[in-house]
Structures are given as C-alpha cells and as structure tokens.
Structure 1
Amino acid sequence: MTAIADPFLPLPIRQSDPELTRRTDAARAEMARRDLAALLLVSPENIYYLLGLDHQGYFAFSLLLVPRDGAPELIARAMEGPTVAARAPGCVHRPFHDGEDPVAVVTAALRAHVAPGSAVGVEDSAMFFPPAIRTRICRETQELTWVDASDVGQRLREVKSDGEIAAVRRAAALSDSAMAAGIAAVAEGVRETRVAAAVYQAMISGGSQNPGFAPLIRSTAILQQEHVSWDERAIAAGDGVFLELSACVRRYHAPLSRTIYVGAAPPQAATAHAAALAGLAAIRDALRPGAVAGDVYAAWRAAVERVHPQGGVPRHHCGYLVGIGFPPSWVGGGEVPGIRPGSTRAIRAGMTFHAMSWVQEPIGYVVSDTALVTGEGCELLTGVSRELTVVP
C-alpha cells in the first residue's frame, strides 16, 4: 500500500498529486501489458479514481480517454468545463454542446492519439456506455481494434492506499453514527420515514457526502425484497426492522447492516442471530492475504450451518468489495464483485469488503460490517452493537 502525505486529499485534487500519478502510472502499465494504445473509461468511479473528478454530471455521456503518453482527455458536456478545470486540471477537456453528437468528439480524440491498427481497451460492461454511442464510435473507427477492458478499473481500485483506507475509516465512523441514530429512532408507532430522516441527519451533519446507495430501511416481513427501502408505514409492536446503510467520504463507503425488533423478538430470533454472528466471525477469520474468495464463502457457510442448517437455496454471496461509489451504487459499478462459492478472486491486503452474514433459516436475520484486509488478517471497521437488539 502506498502512503500519501495527507490522508484526506484536498479538493480540488490536483493531477500532480503523488496518489493520482501512481494511479495513472498503474493504468498505463496495465495498458502496456495488454498492448493497448488507449483506454476508454466511462464509469464515474474509474474517472474519479484517475482524475479526482467528483460531480454529478456523469448522468450525461462522459468518457475518459487515457493514451499511453500525454494528458488524459475527458469528453464531456461543454457546461462541465468550469468543474473539470477546477477539479481535474491535469486532463484535457474535449467538450460537446447539448444537441451536438459526442461520437464525433470521441472519434477526433482517438485519431489524435491512436495509430491505425492499434488496439483500444473499452469498458464494454459499464452501465454508462450507451450501446448506440459505442456502436457508432466503432463504426467510425474501423481502423482500430476494440478490446473489452471492463476489468481494468476494478482491478486497479481493489487494493487501497493508506489515504484511501483513511477515508474508508472515516466513512465507517459516520456509518456507525448513522446506524446508531436509526436504531434509536425505531419505536412502535414511528413511521419508517422518520427513521430514514434520523439516519440522514446523523450521517450528513457528521460530514458525509451523499452516499452511492440510499439507506435500506424496511420491515423483516419483506426482508427478501432486497433493494426496497422505507415508506410511510408505521412500525408496529412485534416488527423486525432491517437497516443497511453507508456514509460516504471522498466517495469512499463503509456499509453495515443490523436487524432489530420492536417490543419482543420472535422465538427463533436467538438461533438466527447466533448463526449470523458465527458467520460474520468466520468471514473475519478467513479474510486474509493469500486466501481466495471461494474459501471465504465456504468458511462462512460452514459456520452458519454448524449453528443452524440453511434450507432451500443458500445465499449467493457473503460480501463484496466496496470503496469508491457514485449513485446508483456503492459497489463501484454495475457488477457486484462478491465473495461467492467457487470464486478464485485473490484476497490481498488493502482490500475493503462489505462482509455480510445473511441467514435465511430459521428466520431471516442479517448482520454485516465493513472489513479491511490487513497484512495480518482482517479488521472490522464498523462496530455498532451486534447483540440481539429489542427496542420498546
């Protein structure tokens, strides 16, 4: 892991900063290894990683061209010019005006940097690369060979520097504060919207940016509806309430989740809670340099089933990589790089995971935390009480 002088880079982040220089050098080394003359990136997480560009303008088409030599070029709307100049001064902004075709601008940039017959890497799997634009760029540059390089950005971002880890730690502290506020707001008769308001108030007043994913707050009666959040429903006695959230610092996230009960816990909650805690402990113990993700999953599942066998279909993962994230996700893109059965993903020091122990038998129960892989093993960065919690 490479240290930087200031664990929280000042805004705007300058391209000359050692951290950004290291990242660009690493990207170009990977390009050389794959014999790519240029790399085209469209995910806001990857653009931020290389330029430090933190804004919301990525909803419109934006593309970063990284040549083997020379300054990167950002093709983006003309109105983003002042933002790019202030926050990413080390790149060249090639603007297109509203109503103007960005394909012509991308094509001109490619021809300025890439010789005919060369290979260009592109994020084919990114959600921010409209197929119509991608197809037309290829049609206009048939002298180039297009290579899927969707994995390059994710691989560069997997292992975090000391400065990035400091941002994740700060996000974890804010996540803990927001979770504590959310739990404190849960009570019989309180609407879920009030719980959400308490979470946001604690999170943002503490220093968080807008997170990449909205907090998930819902009754355990609909726990399996995994990406449904709060509504105006009033919490009732006997309800279970699931909360999953993450604060965000310099676009870095640190999620956690907790399950709590109102009035009384159901009879099977103690067993489900014990199984989930055993699974989380197994993930923590298995996440260490040299391990592979499939073995971490196997350790989690074995620990859970020693407490209570899981009937039906087992959970598809027990965690995933987290770090830089922009709406609509905190996983860093449209794919979830998870801890899955059979995965050969190597675990390395400096990775951060959302370690998630979600059991489905005897009843649904979830506990999760952000985990940092260290040189010696694993450290859980979030730490709100994991006890079986019942509120009035």
Structure 2
Amino acid sequence: MLLLPFSENEYKIRIRNVKNGMAEQSLDVLVITEPANIYYLCGYDAWSFYTVQALIVFQNAELPIWVGRQVDSTTAHVTTFLPRARIVPYPDVYVQNVDRHASQFVADVILDEFPTAKVIGVEMDAYYYTARDHAELVKSMPNVRFADAELLVNWVRFVKSDAEVAYMRQAGCITELMMDSAVKAAMPGVRECDVAAAIYFAQMSGTETFGGLPSTSPPHMGFGSRAREAHPIFSDRPIAPDSVANIEISGCRLRYHAPMSRTIYFGRPCQRYRDLAAYVIDGIDASLEVVRPGASCEDVELSWAKSLSAHGVKKETRLGYSIGIAYTPTWGERTASLRRGDRTILSPGVAFHLMAGLWLEDTGITITQSFVVTDKGYEALTSTPRELIVKD
C-alpha cells in the first residue's frame, strides 16, 4: 500500500518544473540531498537523512532515481510512487566506513544512467550535503563539471498547490491546539519542561480527524530574562511570578508547517510593556494590509517598519520567511524573506511566517502570524488572536 499525500500526477508536474529549472542552468543531472526537496518530488519520508541519500533527476529520463541505504529502501517502496527499478539502495558496507563512501555509489548510479552527462548540479548549501559528500562525488567523476544548484528545488516549491495549502491549514489547526495547551499549562511554579510536555502532547495528538508529527525543532521557549533571546530551549526551572514567556511553536501535518509565536505575561504587565505589545500588533496589521499578489516582500517589511518607527521602535532582523515543507533543523524554506531589499513578488500560493518578534536589552515579545497569499490578499493559517496573553 502506497502512502502518498499527493497524486502521482502532481509529483510529475513538480519534476517537470524542476527539469525546466535545470534547463535554464544547463544541467544534465541534479543531485538532490535536502530531505524536504526529496519529499516534495517523490514522497520519500523517513528519519534517514543522517546517512547519504539522494534523489537524482536526469534530463534524459522521465523519472528520477532514489538512492539510499539498503535498510531504508523498503520505506522508499512504501512512500514514493517510483517503480522498483528507480529505487537503488546501497549496501551497509558504505555506511560509516572510512574506506568507502556512499557518494561513490551515487556517482556510479549517475554514470550508469547518464554516462555522457557533462554538468551536474548539487545543493552546495543543503544541511545534509557535507564537504565529504561533495569531495567524493568530484573524485569519482573527474570528467564532469559540478555546478551549484542550491535552492533550485526550493524555489519550485515556493508557490504551493491547493492541496499543499490544505495541509498547511491542518498544520495551523494543530498549532492552535499546541498554543492553547501551552497557555493552560503555564503558570508560576510550573516547570518549563512541563509546559513543553503539554505542547508535545497536543502536537502529536492533533485533532480527531488528523494527527500531527514532530516539527523541525523543539519549542522555542524564553522564560523570564531569556525572553530576550530569539531561539532559547526550555529547561526544568519553575516559572517565576511577574515574568514573561515567549513561545514559538509549529504544528506539523505531513511535513507541512504553520508556525506561531505568542507572549504570555504572568502577573500585571507595566504600561510600557502593554504599549510594546500594542505597537507589535499594529505593525502586524499594517504589514498584512499590503499583502496581495503583485506586492513585494520588501513592501510588507516597509509597512511594518513605518508603523513601528512612529513609536520609536526598530527591528533589525528580517520580518519573516517563506514556509511549507520542512525537516530538521528549520521550518523556513530558505527562499524569500520579508525584509528590506528582497523584491520577490508575492503571488497566490506563497506562504510566510510573519515573525514580528522583538528582542530588546531587557525583555522580548513575540506575536506572529503565518499566512498564505490569496487572489485578493491573504489567508491566516492560524486563528489564535494576535494579542498579549495575560495570566494575572
């Protein structure tokens, strides 16, 4: 029984779009190692990316070839639409062996399939494409020119299909349940890790209709003085009274993410902090007002900056980033960013996490919104109110 989240036709359209991108870069072959890109093009899904695995796309062949560890080839048969002949596993002798490397096997597969290939694209900055991987490929194919095709597939993924957006909506539903569980569990005296446990339970349980998966990272939770940090991890310390907590999480539905951050104040926040929350919320509203097809990423950030500058507040880091499929270590797609200078044009189907987080010298606040661009504007992927949560 195949476990495909999309139709075979949708996968083939994606492969065709990638081949068009390869043609623009004059690539004969593309070696894909980023797990999200492999999943996007064929459906392969396993926690196996700690060893060499690749999806190899050939300009002269209709279907790509999956290459991975022998023990994981069963998963390739179960989770991809590829026929048996296009699933080529390597034996365990290539696993963590100083004398052999699986990239040598990958090279042999390429040379067997396309011996006249002249230019091969690789994802040079992918998290799971190592310096050793590249060195072994280059050594094994001395007559081939290697080109950096980093983000080629990521940009093909940038515009989501209706089916993808539907999964992101479901991820957003899970995110809402996770945040609701966090707010209910968090109170002075409760350990940070116990709040995380409540989040994890909601994340995996999902709804009665669909369940969840682990997201790309643990919950980012900054309690007390650690609210100044952008990506802190929870501890086993109890929550202090009259303190603040920033919580950034994401539900995950079939590897699709819809992140959200909220700030909880335990006690009665001072007027300065309430004002800061109001500035952030107004800035989010101003940003979303300009989201529509034809606007640019920069337009969204400029609207945010204008709103905050009226209150003397400035955010140095980017306002947001594109989202969709993701594997460890990040749920960002690594394509467009909502920031000054990024003139990427928005179109229906592109999705972002508008990360309106402020990390100041003495505190921080994070109230954010994931959204997808529609024909006329945007659709919020989560419906949790954008507000400072106060537990007095």
- Shift in CA distance, 14/380, structure 1 to aligned 2, threshold 3 Å: closer
1:291-370 aligned within 5 A: 291-306=295-310, 308-310=311-313, 314-332=315-333, 335=334, 337-360=336-359, 364-370=364-370
Counterpart-to-counterpart distance in 2, 1:95 and 1:330 = 28
- Listed as ranges, the gaps of 5+ residues in structure 2 are 95-100
Match of 1:96 in 2: 90
| Greater mean alpha carbon deviation, residues 377-386 or residues 348-357 | 377-386
Q: Please identify, of 152-161 and 381-390, the stretch whose mean Cα deviation from structure 2 is larger.
A: 381-390
Amino acid at match of 2:376: E
What's the offset of the Cα at 1:117? 5.9
* C-alpha distance in structure 1 between counterparts of 2:236 and 2:320, whole Å: 30
Counterpart of 2:200 in structure 1 is 200
Equivalent runs, 1:110-125 vs 2, <5 Å: 110-116=110-116, 118-125=118-125
What residue in structure 2 maps to residue 147 of structure 1?
147
Tell me which moved more, 234-243 or 109-118: 109-118
Following the alignment from structure 2 to structure 1, what is the Cα–Cα distance between the partners of residues 6 and 283?
Answer: 42
Partner of 2:19: 28
Q: How many angstroms does 1:154 deviate by?
A: 1.0
Change (3 A) 1:85 1:272: same
Q: Contact (CA 8 Å) 2:5, 2:254: kept in 1 or not? A: no
Q: Does residue 52 of structure 1 match 2:43? A: yes
Q: Does the Cα contact within 8 Å between 1:275 and 1:305 map onto a contact in 2?
A: no
Aligned to 2:97: none
Q: Counterpart in 1 of 2:33?
A: 42
Counterpart-to-counterpart distance in 2, 1:317 and 1:33: 30
List per-residue Cα deviations over 1:102-132 (Å, max 9, x = no partner).
1321111121233446211110111111111
- The worse-fitting range, judged by mean Cα deviation, of 240-249 and 292-301 is 292-301
Residue 47 (structure 1) shift: 0.2
Structure 1 contact 15–51 (Cα < 8 Å) conserved: no
Using the TM superposition, name which of 274-283 and 165-174 deviates more: 274-283
Cα distance change of structure 1 residues 387 and 127 upon mapping to structure 2, 3 Å threshold: closer
Question: Does structure 1 residue 372 correspond to structure 2 residue 372?
Answer: yes
Please give the secondary structure, in 1, of the residue aligned with 2:280.
helix
The one-letter amino acid paired with 1:349 is P
Structure 1 counterpart SS, 2:193? helix
> Match of 2:10?
19
Amino acid at match of 1:41: I
- 1:72 and 2:64 matched: yes
**Residue in 2 that maps onto 1:251:** 255
Give 1:360 deviation, angstroms. Answer: 4.5
Task: Tell me if the contact between 2:119 and 2:144 (Cα under 8 Å) persists in the aligned partners.
Answer: yes
Aligned length: 378
CA distance in 1, matches of 2:7, 2:225: 52
Structure-2 residue corresponding to 1:179 = 179
Instruction: Confirm or deny: 8 A CA contact 1:247 1:254 kept in the other structure.
Output: yes
In structure 2, the CA distance between the partners of 1:385 and 1:94, relative to structure 1 (3 Å rule), is same
TM-score normalised by the chain length of structure 2: 0.92
Q: Residue 169 of structure 1 aligns to a residue in which SS?
A: helix
**In structure 2, how many angstroms separate the alpha carbons of the residues matched to 1:109 and 1:353?**
37
Aligned counterpart, 2:273: 269
Which residues of structure 1 form unaligned runs of 5+?
1-9
Compute the displacement of 1:286 (Å).
Answer: 2.1
Residue 84 of structure 1 is matched in structure 2 by: 76
Shift of 1:225: 2.3
Aligned to 1:166: 166
**CA–CA separation in structure 1 for the residues paired with 2:322 and 2:261:** 15
Q: Residue 283 of structure 2 aligns with which residue?
A: 279
Q: What residue identity is the alignment partner of 1:13? A: L
Q: Report the secondary structure of 2:368's partner residue.
A: strand
User: How far off its partner does 1:238 sit?
Assistant: 0.5
Give yes or no for contact 2:297–2:336 (8 Å, CA) kept in 1. Answer: no
TM-score (norm 1): 0.92
SS in 1 for 2:197: helix
CA deviation after TM superposition for structure 1 residue 14, in Å:
8.2
After TM superposition, the runs of 4+ consecutive aligned structure 1 residues lying more than 4 A away are 360-363
Give the secondary-structure state (helix, strand or coil) at the position aligned to 2:300: helix
Sequence identity percentage? 28
The 2-side partners of 1:248 and 1:318 are apart by 22
Q: Which SS does the other structure have where 2:332 is aligned?
A: coil
Specify whether residues 297 and 105 from structure 1 end up closer, same or farther in structure 2 by C-alpha distance, changes over 3 A only.
same
Question: Partners in 1 of 2:171 and 2:276 — Cα distance?
Answer: 28
SS class of match (1:58):
coil
- TM-superposition CA deviations, 1:218-239 (whole Å, max 9, x none): 2141123222121111111111
Deviation at 1:34, TM superposition (A): 2.1
Matched residue of 1:147: which SS?
strand
